[in-house]
Amino acid sequence: MLLRICSVILILFAFWLMLSGQFSILLLTLGGFSALLSVAISAQMRLFHGKTQLAKLVWSLPKYWLWLSVQIAKCGLDVALRIVHPKLPIEPSFIKIPVSKSSGLGRTTYANSITLTPGTLAIKIDEENILVHTLTKAAGTDLMSGEMHRKIPLE
Amino acid sequence: MGNRAPHQVAKMVDVITWVMLVLGSGLVLVGGIGILRMPDVYTRLHAGGITDTLGAGLILVGLMTQSGWGGATIKLCLILAFLFFTNPTASHLLARTALKFGVKPQPESKKGSSSKV
């Protein structure tokens, strides 16, 4: 846990440097203090007690984001074409998608990814299911195949 | 090569920026048209989603190609990241609240189909 806290302090400080771009003593000190303060508050909120391994996510999460971006582009173009189509060919419906992520972070990421992808919208989330509103039949069957669920690198 | 190459590269970057900005603006427009054409609140949120993800994404990436490697690009990346975290939260809350207060989907859509394991 100490290792995690130290690495978070370092990351936050690097983040400060990146955003400020100033290297005067005053600003460096302020940055150090704010990194420490954020970590202290996070520790108070027990944010360091989780089991998620940060190092593993450094590689797998950007890979997932890339896949998700391609997905967003594909579905977005499909929905855009349907919007400008004179007949407005949509078949909206509600479906229930099973979810087997044990962590809150995993479930949140799944629901957020569903909503981010145009054509699907996560409405209600509980331990086992997500209620999704879909704009087309194809969007629903895509979700049912569970590909997105498998690609998320969180448990 | 010589001193012509950098000039051509800059021109190509300009073309990429233009394509992305025009495409992004077009998708924002389509999202707006969608909000007008869709029949109810749930389907309208789908149309609005295009504006927030593809439209804003293309415009921001287009701006990144102009801002070069530096603080501005990092800040644009951050704007994009925050947009991608906040947009689904807002859409989800709108839809959930609408459902909770009994807003009916138009036209009547089928509710609760199979839930395979």
The answer to whether B50 touches A115, Cβ cutoff 8 Å, is no
Tell me whether residue B109 is in a domain: no
Residue B15 lies in a domain: yes
- pLDDT-derived band at A28, boundaries 50, 70, 90: very high
Domain boundaries, chain A: 2-44, 59-151
Q: Please check whether residue B108 lies inside any domain of the structure.
A: no
A-to-B residue pairs, Cβ atoms closer than 8 angstroms: 120
A35-57 pLDDT, tens digit each: 999 999 988 887 777 666 667 77
Write out chain B residues lying below 8 Å of A93, CB-based.
109-111, 113
**What residues are paired with A98 via a beta bridge?**
A129
The residue of chain B nearest to residue A18, with distances taken between CA atoms, is B71
Compute the average pLDDT of residues A107-119. 90
| Lowest mean per-residue pLDDT among A44-58, A117-131, A136-150 | A44-58
Using 50, 70 and 90 to split pLDDT, how confident is the model at B1? very low
Question: H or E stretch including A94?
Answer: strand A93-98
Output the six-digit token pair for A5. 């806290």
Residue B117 within any structural domain of the chain? no
Other CB atoms within 10 Å distance of the CB of residue B117: 5
Q: State which residues form the domain around B38.
A: 5-100
Whether B116 is covered by a domain: the verdict is no
Q: A31 and chain B: CB distance < 8 Å anywhere?
A: no
Q: Which of A41-55, A64-78, B62-76, B97-111 has the highest mean pLDDT?
A: A64-78
Q: Which of A4-18, A67-81, B99-113 has the lowest mean pLDDT?
A: B99-113
State residue B116's pLDDT score: 34
Interface residue A105 vs chain B (CB under 8 A): no
Cβ–Cβ < 8 Å for A149, A100 = yes
CB pair distance less than 8 Å for A144 and B47:
no
Number of independent structural domains in chain B? 1
